[in-house]
Amino acid sequence: MPRPTNALIVDDEAHVRVLIRVLLKQLGVETVWDAADGAEALEQTAAHKPDVILLDINLPQIGGLEVLAKLKAAHPTIPVVIVSSQRR
């Protein structure tokens, strides 16, 4: 896979989206979209066709694995990286 120039971050926690955005920018990713839930992720993917999607597993309403299945059905060539954190 060539180095992505754009990405979609899907996480329900704003501070995590900000952190991942900063890391992606440092890696040279020029354009970054974000989504706070699964429905928004599906909309953003359809609108922008990102080079890569960073997807949280723990999402409200539609869980990350269900979002992953829908993304792969609609956009099978877009790589999806599962990114998740658990606070204790």
pLDDT < 70 positions in the chain: 1, 86-88
The helix or strand, by DSSP H or E, that contains position 75, with its residue range, turns out to be: none
Q: What is the pLDDT of residue 56?
A: 96
Q: Say what the pTM is.
A: 0.93
Contact 67, 37 (CB under 8 A): no
Q: What is the pLDDT of residue 20?
A: 96
Contact 83, 52 (CB under 8 A): no
Q: Whole-angstrom Cα distance, residue 46 to residue 26?
A: 26
Crossing angle of helices 38-48 and 64-74, in 10° steps, is 20
Contact 53, 8 (CB under 8 A): yes
What percent of the chain shows pLDDT beyond 70? 95
Q: What is the pLDDT of residue 51?
A: 97
Q: What is the pLDDT of residue 88?
A: 61
